[in-house]
Structure 1
Amino acid sequence: MTESQSALALGEIGEDRLLDGRLILRQPKKGHRAGSDAILLAAALPELGEGPLLDMGAGVGTVGLAAALAQPQLRVVLAERDPELAALARANIARNGLDDRVAALALDIAAPAAAVTEAGLIPASFACVAMNPPFYAARETKASPVPNRRAAHIVEGGLSDWLKAARRLLRPGGRIAIIHRAEALAEILAGLATGFGGLEIQPIHALADRPAVRVLVTAVLNSKKPAALLPAFILNRPEGGFTEASEALHRGYSMLGSRDQ
């Protein structure tokens, strides 16, 4: 039995509330846990109508569930390769009363295209794909001994596999939204160079006088629009605590991006 499985078996699962208490999440007490990255990514998504939205590498479902709560007509698919986390995502769908619009699949989106299609993800069928991919290649960092933290932080096959899968699953005019380490910007731009346009890049800073720690990048499949660099978003005040804008965003009362989407 893995540590992740034993945590579930022993009940080492906590319940947290995000977005001013509106989003209820059951997640492991140890390992990778939902935080600011997921909330920032959900806040960067455009109005999608019925969608559908694909949350790639969904973990316990934070991004997709936050989007579903914010957009009452939106249909969402949560795809997560770890079956234990996928099970928690299904529990979170039910806990938030979203069974009619949100589904979870235990699926590695970097698997061969035929396997992904067989699992129910049809090519060219999604209005938007959101991803908060693992930050590191296996060669770049020492793996955590906690399985779900290791899976969340280390990408198998490279970011390019995730971007190729997103390109295949998006319909023409569909949008991709990515949050990643600021150092990964060049790799993201290279991966979006074929087939995407209308890029919007937003740096995320922990403090105003520090380099960006994250980038939010959105792009549109088959768009010819030029790229745009958006104003930086500052998370924290020098004296501690969120900035006013960051507080509003984390409570679910504001959005990111140009909104010209």
Structure 2
Amino acid sequence: MEKRSEAAAFLGGRLRLRQMPRGHRAGTDAVLLAAATPAQTRGLILDIGAGTGAVGLAAALRAPAATLGLVEIDPESCALARENIATNALAARIRVHEADLLSIAARRAGGLENESAEVLLTNPPYLTPGRARVSPDPRRALAHVSADGLEPWLRACLALLRPGGLFVMIHRADALADCLASVGTRLGALALLPVLPREGEAATRILLRGLKGSKAPLSLLPPLVLHEADGAFTPRAEALNRGKGELF
């Protein structure tokens, strides 16, 4: 087994996370996705494509009355997620579901029930083979690349979300058309939040929030700017990095 890194501080030290020294590592995307968690959530929150648990654990801090499920296919990432849950004393509220999201049988075998989640957070694989350079690192490739495309991933996610439940996804800004096409009419009350590296620059990420089954129209929100001209985080981005403030 690959040597694991030491646990490092996340959210300004509010969480301790152990991650693989190579492969996909949680960062700003995880912070932003977790920051979309409503604090008043009392039901089940699912973190889909959870990796070592950064989004789900951060969401647990934001919604102290909720229970969490971390859904991940990679066994070593699941093992680290379980360690991270124990390290942060969250075992009473968080469960790891080691399962292939795209397999109905695997979801059932992993303890996942359709229409069980009140909130669903996902950071899906961003890339498709043939349309991007695939990393030679197998774990990074597994996290970043989907041979099936985005629509099957979102269909499986939304099967797990209850009617009226909240869905939040982060993705590349240049994949917006694919995101909206894949969502189709399954979600309404969509809110689209562009994420800019600096003021005046093009967005590199988008966050898409919606309610399952709603017919309400889409709204385009003012962008979130991550960095000042000198590279420092903006005050809003710095607050989010410390697990404070609201994203939506």
**Aligned with residue 141 of structure 2, among 143, 147, 150:** 150
How do 1:188-227 and structure 2 match up within 5 A? 188-227=179-218
CA contact (8 A) 2:121 2:167 kept: yes
Q: Give the structure-2-normalised TM-score.
A: 0.97
| Gapped regions of structure 1 (runs ≥ 5) | 1-5
Checking the alignment, whether the CA contact within 8 Å between 1:57 and 1:132 is kept in structure 2 is yes
In 2, Cα distance between the equivalents of 1:67 and 1:58? 12
Letter in 2 for 1:187: D
Match for residue 187 of structure 1? 178
CA distance in 2, matches of 1:197, 1:44: 17
Provide the rounded CA distance (Å) in 2 between the counterparts of 1:48 and 1:103. 20
**Residue-pair matches, total:** 248
Aligned to 2:90: 98
The aligned residue for residue 159 of structure 1 is: 150
Give SS of 1:139's match: coil
Q: 2:179, 2:100 → 1: CA distance?
A: 20
Q: Secondary structure in 2 aligned to 1:103?
A: strand
- Taking the aligned partners of 2:40 and 2:54, their CA distance within structure 1 comes to 17
Percent identity over paired residues: 44
Greater than 4 Å deviation, 4+ residue runs: none
Of 191-200 and 93-102, deviating more is: 191-200
Q: For 2:6, which of 1, 6, 14 is the aligned residue?
A: 14
CA contact (8 A) 1:48 1:127 kept: no
Q: Is the 8 A contact 1:56 1:80 kept in 2?
A: yes
1:176 and 1:252 map into 2 onto residues whose CA distance is 20
Instruction: Identify which of 48, 57, 76 aligns with 2:49.
Output: 57
User: What do you get for the CA RMSD once the two structures are aligned?
Assistant: 1.1
Residues 97 and 112, structure 2, Cα contact 8 Å, conserved in 1: no
What CA distance in whole angstroms lies between the structure 2 residues aligned with 1:230 and 1:95?
A: 37
Counterpart CA distance in 1 for 2:223 and 2:41 is: 27
Alignment of 1:243 with 2:234, yes or no, is yes
Secondary structure in structure 1 of the residue aligned to 2:64: coil
Cα distance in 2 between the residues matched to 1:47 and 1:222: 22
SS at match of 1:99: coil
